Amino acid sequence: MRSIKSVCLLLLASVLIPVGAKEPKDKNKYGVYIAGVSASFKDSLVFFTDIQYVDSAAINKKGLLESRAQYSMQLNDFLEQQENLKHRTSMVFYNRKKKNLEKEVNKIRQKYQKGGKLVLKDVNSNFKFKKAEVY
């Protein structure tokens, strides 16, 4: 009787465990929080984007954002077309955790505010980072 119960439990466990077990997720497929900063050597304006979640963004095995230059170019293009601001240097900051990215962006804001000579502005809320092509 005990052996029949043991066999039944083993069969039941072998059926239930694979169904309930989750497959390990590929870390490169996770979305990423991204924020952008754009500055110029020709004027005193520094633009900051909102922190945005981009579900198509991926971080490679080295911990770098895939196609990060394309995200910077998206911000540059938007500022050139919408705000008529040319010759800007745009940077993107990213993290999988929103709180960590908020801390990093706040540190950058404080550094730019330190001298009081620069004007910090938010980028129009219509700007959204789009999926970048991975090469």
Length of the chain equals: 135
User: Does the pLDDT at position 23 exceed 60?
Assistant: no
For the segment 83-109, the average pLDDT, to the nearest whole number, is 95
The pLDDT of residue 116:
85
For the segment 103-116, the average pLDDT, to the nearest whole number, is 93
The more confidently predicted of residues 106 and 83 is 106
Q: What are the CB-based long-range contacts (under 8 Å, 24+) for 4-8?
A: none
Query: Which residue range(s) make up the domain with 106?
Result: 27-122
User: Does the pLDDT at position 8 exceed 70?
Assistant: no
- 3-state secondary structure labels for all residues of 95-118: ECCHHHHHHHHHHHHHHHHCCCCC
Mean pLDDT of the chain: 83
Report the phi/psi class of residue 61: left, alpha or beta, with left for phi > 0 and alpha for psi in -120 to 50: alpha
Position 66 in a domain:
yes
The pLDDT of residue 30:
66
How many structural domains are present in the chain? 1
Position 99 in a domain:
yes
Separation between Cα atoms, residue 54 and residue 34, nearest integer Å: 7
The pLDDT of residue 132:
83
Name the residue with tokens 């404080």. 110
The pLDDT of residue 64:
92
Position 129 in a domain:
no
Separation between Cα atoms, residue 94 and residue 88, nearest integer Å: 20
Position 100 in a domain:
yes
The pLDDT of residue 53:
96
Position 118 in a domain:
yes
What whole-number percentage of the chain has pLDDT above 70? 76
